[in-house]
């Protein structure tokens, strides 16, 4: 484990396991790099170097008052890549981490990248509009912010149900999944929590996706109750040249953590790395 300092002095915590081609995992909201432990072990065991950082305001990274926007997140990622001196990188982004990945490509290009994976990602746009009728209504995002501000511990406990589709008949989500979600969410600063909602609700990544010129795998569950597949993954697959879309039937938003789904994703990820 280590820390790097970004251009504005923010400390970013990261984990660095194994040796070989670097695979950098970008976590979703309101999680941190620990959400990727299963995938990190799988790729490190397979001969890759697995790296996962905590976004500013999350986990063990600094909690500055400002900088919770995707330009800043992408520049933080660029600072991490520069500090580690890595090339031929595979980026894997979950949920809002997919937005961070996309904005990195939009701002910094693909010169240091070899492949990209978007898992349950918010790209290209979450907010419902006339141009994006499949998106999420603005009031939903306002209600999320109110929930965080009112009593965030209970809000995170409640939100874990939808995150893992835990109320569905036959769900494979465990109480442990929900407890881990709550634990990581409580390590996120309340300021980051609210500001990130504003950021991922209103940011349009269409132009960023159009700049992808590397092999890209898109994985999304068709029962994602947080990031609707029709507003995101299906559209992203049409924008990114030659992207491969894999839809997990009954898959929740928390694919990478739920037993069964995470094993399938690990296999798909390793196959994509080998291809």
Q: Which of 48, 224, 252, 261 is catalytic?
A: 224
Helix (H/G/I), strand (E/B), else coil: 260: coil
d(CA 105, CA 151): 36
Q: Which of 61, 62, 95, 160 is catalytic?
A: 95
Helix (H/G/I), strand (E/B), else coil: 24: strand
Give me 44's structure tokens.
């490190």
**Whether the Cβ atoms of residue 125 and residue 234 lie closer than 8 Å to each other:** no
d(CA 40, CA 82): 20
- Residues 137, 210, 58: CA angle, nearest 5 degrees: 55
Q: Is 224 annotated in the active site?
A: yes
Among candidate residues 45, 25, 47, 46, the one with its CA nearest the CA of residue 34: 25
Q: Is 230 annotated in the active site?
A: no
Q: Is 61 annotated in the active site?
A: no
**Whether the Cβ atoms of residue 132 and residue 125 lie closer than 8 Å to each other:** yes
Contacts (Cβ under 8 Å, ≥6 apart) of 270: 42, 43, 46
Give the residue numbers marked as catalytic: 95, 224, 253
């Amino acid at each position: 484990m280590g820390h790097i300092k970004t251009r504005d002095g923010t400390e970013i915590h990261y984990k660095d396991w194994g040796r070989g081609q670097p695979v950098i995992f970008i976590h979703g909201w309101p999680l941190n790099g620990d959400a990727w432990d299963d995938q990190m072990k799988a790729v490190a065991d397979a001969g890759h170097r697995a790296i996962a950082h905590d976004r500013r305001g999350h986990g063990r990274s600094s909690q500055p008052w400002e900088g919770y926007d995707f330009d800043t997140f992408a520049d933080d990622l660029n600072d991490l890549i520069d500090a580690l001196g890595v090339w031929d990188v595979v980026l894997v982004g979950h949920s809002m981490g997919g937005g961070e990945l996309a904005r990195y490509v939009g701002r910094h290009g693909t010169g240091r990248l070899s492949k990209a994976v978007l898992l349950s990602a918010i790209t290209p746009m979450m907010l419902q509009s006339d141009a994006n009728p499949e998106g999420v209504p603005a009031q939903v995002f306002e209600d999320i912010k109110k929930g965080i501000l009112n009593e965030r511990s209970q809000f995170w406990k409640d939100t874990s149900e939808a995150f893992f589709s835990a109320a569905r008949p036959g769900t494979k989500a465990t109480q442990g999944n929900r407890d881990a979600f709550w634990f990581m969410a409580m390590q996120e600063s309340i300021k980051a929590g609210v500001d990130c909602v504003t950021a991922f609700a209103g940011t349009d990544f269409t132009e960023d996706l159009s700049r992808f010129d590397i092999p890209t795998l898109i994985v999304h569950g068709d029962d994602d109750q947080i990031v609707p597949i029709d507003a995101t993954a299906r559209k992203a697959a049409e924008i990114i040249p030659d992207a491969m879309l894999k839809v997990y039937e009954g898959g929740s938003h928390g694919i990478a953590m739920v037993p069964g789904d995470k094993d399938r994703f690990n296999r798909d990820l390793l196959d994509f790395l080998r291809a």
